[in-house]
């Protein structure tokens, strides 16, 4: 069996490589959905949709396709990727001094079906200066990330977190690895 990542995310690729997997990347054309009051349903639906979309495009069935989706939730509101720089500034300002939750859903699809699960982490930001937020947004780094930040960027120093660091980055490898190893 070969592994296919149904994501163009460089962070997900990096996590899989660091975990020692050999894989190819196929971007999914699945149109993401949003269930405004249910982040878990949102990330699971999107992860399954991406994995099954890519699996359906493959020429052979000897593959495991990994799909994933990450959202940030603050005050019951799901925050995805920023629409533009102003949206990123607004999001980071709202996260400043607060604790939010990061959910990542993942799905592993084979010819036998799909296995899905999710991980949850809590992240607390210190109060961020407006200049810090502006400089980070101007760097362009937050523009393709749920919640408008990347823990791995090192630019926004978080105060604390609970749960998986890899989940916050976008792929909870410690939950995925046992399932993936059993399939490969």
Tell me what the mean pLDDT of segment 38-63 comes to.
Answer: 95
Q: Which residues pair with 103 in a beta bridge?
A: 71, 120
Tokens of 161: 């977190």
Nearest-angstrom CA–CA distance, 18 and 155: 22
For residues 122-136, average pLDDT: 96
Q: Within 13 A of 182's CA, how many CA atoms are on the CB side?
A: 7
Inter-residue contact 88 to 40 (CB < 8 Å): no
Tokens of 29: 């054309």
Cβ proximity of 28 and 54 under 8 Å: yes
Domains, the chain, ordered by start:
2-183 (3.90.950.10)
pLDDT digits (tens, 9 = 90+) for 3-34: 999 998 999 999 999 999 999 999 999 999 99
CA-CA distance, 170 to 159, in Å (whole number)? 19
Give the rounded percent of residues in the chain with a pLDDT score beyond 70.
Answer: 100
Q: What are phi and psi of 114, to 5 degrees?
A: -125, 135
**b or e along 18-30 (b: 16 or more beta carbons within 10 Å of the residue's beta carbon)?**
eeebebeebebeb
Name the pairing type of β-strands 99-110 and 113-124.
antiparallel
Is the pLDDT at 38 greater than 90, yes or no? Answer: yes
Task: Say yes or no to pLDDT of 65 above 90.
Answer: yes
Q: Quote the pTM value.
A: 0.94
Mean confidence (pLDDT) of the chain: 95
The DSSP code sequence of 79-97 is E-S-SSHHHHHHHHHHHTT
pLDDT beyond 90 at 59: no
Distances in whole angstroms, Cα of residue 78 to Cα of each of 31, 40, 87, 163? 17, 10, 14, 19
pLDDT more than 90, % of the chain: 90
Annotated active-site residue 69? The verdict is yes
The one catalytic residue among 22, 53, 69, 84: 69
Overall average pLDDT of the 67-77 stretch: 96
């Amino acid at each position: 069996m070969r592994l296919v990542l149904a994501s163009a995310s460089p962070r997900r690729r990096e996590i899989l490589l660091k975990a020692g997997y050999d894989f190819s990347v196929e971007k999914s054309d699945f149109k993401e959905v949003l269930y405004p009051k249910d982040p878990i349903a949102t990330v699971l639906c999107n992860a399954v949709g991406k994995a099954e979309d890519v699996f359906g495009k493959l020429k052979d069935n000897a593959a495991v396709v990994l799909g994933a989706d990450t959202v940030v939730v603050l005050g019951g509101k799901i925050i995805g990727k920023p629409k533009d720089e102003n949206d990123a500034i607004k999001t980071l300002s709202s996260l400043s001094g607060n604790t939010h939750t990061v959910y990542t859903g993942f799905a592993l699809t084979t010819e036998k079906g799909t296995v899905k699960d999710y991980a949850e982490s809590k992240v607390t930001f210190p109060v961020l200066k407006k200049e810090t937020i502006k400089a980070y947004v101007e760097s362009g780094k937050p523009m393709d990330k749920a919640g408008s930040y990347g823990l791995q960027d090192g630019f926004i120093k978080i105060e604390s977190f609970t749960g998986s660091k890899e989940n916050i980055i976008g792929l909870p490898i410690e939950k995925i690895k046992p399932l993936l190893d059993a399939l490969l």
